[in-house]
Structure 1
Amino acid sequence: MSFLWTPCEADVGVYVICAQLVDSLSGGGGRTQCTSVTVGRAPAPYTEALPVQVATMGEEQRIVFTVARQDQGFAEYYRLPSIRLSRILGNVPSRVGNLTTFEPLHPVVEMRVNGATTMTLSNVSVFENKTRLDGSRYSFQGLYNGSIVWTPSHQLSGWQGAMCLTTCVYPLTCRGWSRERRAECSEYCIPVRVERCKWYVSRAQTYTEIAGLFSTSSLLLWYMNPVRQSSLHYDNFQSLTPGYNFMIYPGETINVGRKYLSEYENIFDVAQYFGMSTSDILRMNVDLNSSVLNSDKQLNQDLCIVPNVCVML
């Protein structure tokens, strides 16, 4: 003996369902049998991506992720899950941008459906044929791919944080249901870090232009890129002057500082060694927070350093 029942959102809870066989002629009944049924909510989707994403300032990044639905039979399978970039974790202080927005991070969630970009869905890569209890068939779209398209700004040297996606599905509604539906959502955060001291040239730029982004000089920038120096003749030294715009072409990654391993030193020690201000050290190493200014805390980590050679001399 069996009966068919498709629970909807209003049916969430625990039920005891009893059945008894009754002789239609005599009216006599047999033993009553009962079973307990728990109606749960639709499981939220599951999201995954590579464990750590490494980005370079100035270079467009595509952080690829996969969303797997787990709500076959629980939700409206013909409605695709919604997905959005919900928040960004990490030290984004006022010195690198607006605290109330993600302005210095410039993230955009890009989804694709049949080649078209939307803001609500990723590319459907798997269609699963499912069978309902009544034997009818339907196509369940179970697996989706998408990417966060992101270009780290020049203000994010050494940034470490995470980009969090919220993905939702919607339970089946009951006939006549007038209340607002509650989405079943999950959040997944993708760890991201930005390389220190590296700038990706995405369009033709001059030494002078790039030096201006990082508050340094074109001469020092030239000195920090010895591989490029070998391609310059001595008589092209004029390329470092503002009046001669020697171009660095797209596709190159250049040094905008030098890495320095700080051991047993606080930020004031490092500032003194290299003729830098503490604010310049924080600007080139945004994973440091302002607490290092209020103590003798040893840094003990890699730093991006842009030495002030005039002060050091």
Structure 2
Amino acid sequence: MRGSGGMGGRWLLVLLVAGMMAGECAGQGHFRFANIFWERNATLGGFVVTYTIRSSWQRTYPEFQKPDLSFPVVGDVVRLRGFKTPTLSTVDENATAPLNVSLINLDLHVTSSSTAGDWITGTTTVVQEYSGLGPYDATFHGCCIAGVAGNVPFSIATRVDMGSSSFAPAVVPVPVIYAEPGRNFSLPAQHPRSLLGPPDGGLFQFKWQLGAGVAGVSLVDNLGVVGVPLTATVGSVLPIVVRVHLLDGAGSPTGSWSEIAQNVHVMAVGGPVPAMPMPSGMPSFGALSETDRTYEQRTGFGFRIEVAFAGVTMPGSGDALELYTNERLPSLVTMSMEPATPGQPPSKLILSWDRPCVGDEQAIEFCFAAREISSGSYLPQMCLSIRVLLDLPPMFLTPTVSQYTLRMGAETSFDVEVLDAAVDDEVSFLGLAPSSTLPAGASHTPAELRGNRGILTFTWVPLPTAGGSDLTVCFEAKDIPATTYDQCRSGARSSELCVRVMVEPCKYVVRDKETIADVASLFATDWVQLWALNPSIVEPDYEVGKSLGTVLSTGHMYRVDSGDYLNAIAFKFGTTLKHILMLNANLTGTADAVLEVGSDLCVMPNSCIREDDS
């Protein structure tokens, strides 16, 4: 193993209403929680992985005392010690010289600390080179767990399988979990570098698995929701271990997984426990309705999330509220506690980001818990999932169908409407895509652009020569970035929607004042021949000429057989190649071109072939 260092971290925000804060009981040991995961090291190449351990310990543990007799604070590097020295162990039996490493000189880079709570939290990283893709197991173990009677050891592991993935999930730890018997809390998982997602832009999939050791604890394996048993003893600490598997695109486990060891403090039911309602909604642009604790925001537009607290003791009681969070937020995100009125206890937690820009897109799993110091009351842990995504181009609202089937002679129209979800953006263009052309006789109205909306109408009356057409018409929309971007994004974004337009062969819809002779001339035949194709019409002059919308058959559908070619079919039905091509706009090629067996052609039989038609 090559070296150790620090990365990432957690933080503690403590806001005093009045008075001093009491310390947190350390119990018998000094280990509080830890997670371990790995990521393939792209810089060093080969079969090199970087292990990351995020762990938390009793701050005033004697072995952590510095030469000046003080104890660690943020920024310090601490050599991990214990009743059983914290150790990272791994084995590579396939190496030329079999590798069996137990690294005991592990340094903790302190990223957060609490004097009142008597804890430090930090990160340890270790680089390890293997002989192949794996799988390999690495275990972080030692002694002893804080708050649990006796010298109870801890142990968590991760499995490296570079053949199936480039990382194992990073389970999000929470510095303090307090839960009543029968209550739930969640342990979210994410990519080790949370801004990275799958190549398809979706979300990674995980499956949670509960380790052995605590009777009655339950787990929802597809959500990471842990349930505290109703029989749990108030005041006890439940040391749990949860394993999280990375799933592939089909939802099956890969060979990679990681674990977290977390202590759950069982608190009393009822009493003056502050309630934590769901967070209030974000602005209408950006709110994601999947759950009230999940938010989606686009670059260039700020957001503000408020979480209200209720039941906090009024001033004069010597109270304070501690807020513990799991991850350091991006530097531009502000986090604050505000009272409803000046001089009152804090009543809401506020997260805000003035304007995430391009490059700030990421996923944030933000979990926190809070404690009312003097009363000893704790708020159950809560998690928010915040996804910052790139600003989208205008999206097409209509048409909502992907294809239309038209008939010759009948007008078909549909609206093409777009909306830019960023209300301050402007739709700057809506029209035919550069790669597309309008069918003969089709048109669209000039686009009506109003702010972040645009609309046009496409219209087509297919000509008699359009039967059998199978076309794709594409539309494009562009936007102009709002002034809120202010160099946050340059240039317009565009989107495209394509619609398949097909024209039914052998069917024509009679238009106003058209006679059967008029229609016959459109299809290069005579009215008697056309009448013969429509035996249900008794009085062709009256029924066709004065009944708007009558549908006429302009031929018979013929299914192509093996060995058929156009000239042979024309000869069989007493018609011409020219006439078959006219009735089937989808046909191309020469007279002896091989046709697809089973395809259908529109054919108009004709016993009176004129020489000039051949």
- Residue 121 of structure 1 is matched in structure 2 by 448
**Does the aligned pair in 2 maintain the 1:207–1:248 contact within 8 Å?**
no
Asked if residue 170 in structure 1 is aligned to residue 521 in structure 2, the reply is: no
Alpha-carbon distance in structure 1 between the residues aligned to 2:435 and 2:409: 19
- Residue 408 of structure 2 is matched in structure 1 by 57
Q: 2:561 aligns with which of 239, 256, 263?
A: 263
- Residue 394 of structure 2 is matched in structure 1 by 45
Question: Gaps (5+ residues) in structure 2?
Answer: 1-12, 14-298, 302-329, 334-355, 360-389, 610-614
- Residue 82 of structure 1 is matched in structure 2 by 429
Amino-acid identity (%): 23
Change in 2 beyond 3 A, CA 1:158/1:297: closer
Asked if residue 274 in structure 1 is aligned to residue 573 in structure 2, the reply is: yes
Structure 1 position 182, deviation (Å): 3.3
Change in 2 beyond 3 A, CA 1:50/1:64: farther
Alpha-carbon distance in structure 2 between the residues aligned to 1:57 and 1:246: 15
The superposition leaves residues 125-158 of structure 1 with CA deviations (integer Å, 9 ceiling, x where unpaired) of: xxxxxxxxxxxxxxx856x665412211111011
Asked if residue 153 in structure 1 is aligned to residue 480 in structure 2, the reply is: no
**Does the aligned pair in 2 maintain the 1:204–1:248 contact within 8 Å?**
yes
Alpha-carbon distance in structure 1 between the residues aligned to 2:470 and 2:544: 33
Change in 2 beyond 3 A, CA 1:216/1:88: farther
Structure 1 position 305, deviation (Å): 0.7
Question: Gaps (5+ residues) in structure 1?
Answer: 9-15, 20-36, 90-100, 111-118, 125-139, 233-238
Asked if residue 254 in structure 1 is aligned to residue 552 in structure 2, the reply is: yes
**Does the aligned pair in 2 maintain the 1:81–1:167 contact within 8 Å?**
yes
Where does 1:71-150 land on structure 2 (aligned, <5 Å)?
A: 71-72=422-423, 76-77=424-425, 79-86=426-433, 102=438, 105-110=440-445, 119-121=446-448, 147-150=457-460
**Does the aligned pair in 1 maintain the 2:517–2:527 contact within 8 Å?**
yes
- Residue 130 of structure 1 is matched in structure 2 by none
- Residue 504 of structure 2 is matched in structure 1 by 195
**Does the aligned pair in 2 maintain the 1:261–1:302 contact within 8 Å?**
yes
Structure 1 position 46, deviation (Å): 2.2
Bigger relative contact order, structure 1 or 2 (CA pairs below 8 A, ≥6 apart): 1
Structure 1 position 162, deviation (Å): 1.3
**Does the aligned pair in 2 maintain the 1:60–1:152 contact within 8 Å?**
yes
**Does the aligned pair in 2 maintain the 1:80–1:121 contact within 8 Å?**
no
**Does the aligned pair in 2 maintain the 1:53–1:63 contact within 8 Å?**
no
Alpha-carbon distance in structure 2 between the residues aligned to 1:166 and 1:208: 42
The superposition leaves residues 75-109 of structure 1 with CA deviations (integer Å, 9 ceiling, x where unpaired) of: x43x34531123686xxxxxxxxxxx74x532222
Which letter maps to 2:393?
Answer: A
**Does the aligned pair in 2 maintain the 1:46–1:67 contact within 8 Å?**
yes
Q: 1:221 aligns with which of 530, 536, 543?
A: 530
Which letter maps to 1:121?
Answer: E
The superposition leaves residues 167-215 of structure 1 with CA deviations (integer Å, 9 ceiling, x where unpaired) of: 11111359999xxx73211111101100101111121111111111110
Alpha-carbon distance in structure 2 between the residues aligned to 1:196 and 1:69: 39
Indicate the larger mover: 301-310 or 57-66.
57-66
The superposition leaves residues 1-36 of structure 1 with CA deviations (integer Å, 9 ceiling, x where unpaired) of: 9xxxx969xxxxxxx9789xxxxxxxxxxxxxxxxx
Change in 2 beyond 3 A, CA 1:162/1:105: same
Runs of 4+ in 1 over 6 A off after TM superposition: 16-19, 174-177
Alpha-carbon distance in structure 2 between the residues aligned to 1:276 and 1:88: 37
- Residue 127 of structure 1 is matched in structure 2 by none
Alpha-carbon distance in structure 2 between the residues aligned to 1:84 and 1:301: 34
Structure 1 position 60, deviation (Å): 0.7
Alpha-carbon distance in structure 2 between the residues aligned to 1:268 and 1:259: 16
Change in 2 beyond 3 A, CA 1:254/1:57: same
Asked if residue 70 in structure 1 is aligned to residue 397 in structure 2, the reply is: no
Where does 1:240-251 land on structure 2 (aligned, <5 Å)?
A: 247-251=545-549
Alpha-carbon distance in structure 1 between the residues aligned to 2:508 and 2:555: 10
Secondary structure at 2:508's aligned position in 1?
strand
Alpha-carbon distance in structure 1 between the residues aligned to 2:514 and 2:391: 52
Structure 1 position 54, deviation (Å): 0.6
Structure 1 position 225, deviation (Å): 1.1
Secondary structure at 2:571's aligned position in 1?
helix
Aligned CA-pair RMSD: 3.6
Return the structure number with greater helix share.
Answer: 1
Change in 2 beyond 3 A, CA 1:203/1:61: same
Alpha-carbon distance in structure 2 between the residues aligned to 1:87 and 1:18: 40
**Does the aligned pair in 1 maintain the 2:422–2:452 contact within 8 Å?**
no
Q: 1:288 aligns with which of 576, 587, 592?
A: 587
TM-score w.r.t. length of structure 2? 0.33
Q: 2:513 aligns with which of 196, 200, 204?
A: 204
**Does the aligned pair in 1 maintain the 2:509–2:549 contact within 8 Å?**
yes
Task: Give the number of equivalent residue pairs.
Answer: 228
**Does the aligned pair in 2 maintain the 1:163–1:189 contact within 8 Å?**
yes
Alpha-carbon distance in structure 1 between the residues aligned to 2:522 and 2:547: 17
Alpha-carbon distance in structure 1 between the residues aligned to 2:444 and 2:580: 31
Indicate the larger mover: 57-66 or 214-223.
57-66
**Does the aligned pair in 2 maintain the 1:56–1:152 contact within 8 Å?**
yes
Which letter maps to 2:410?
Answer: E
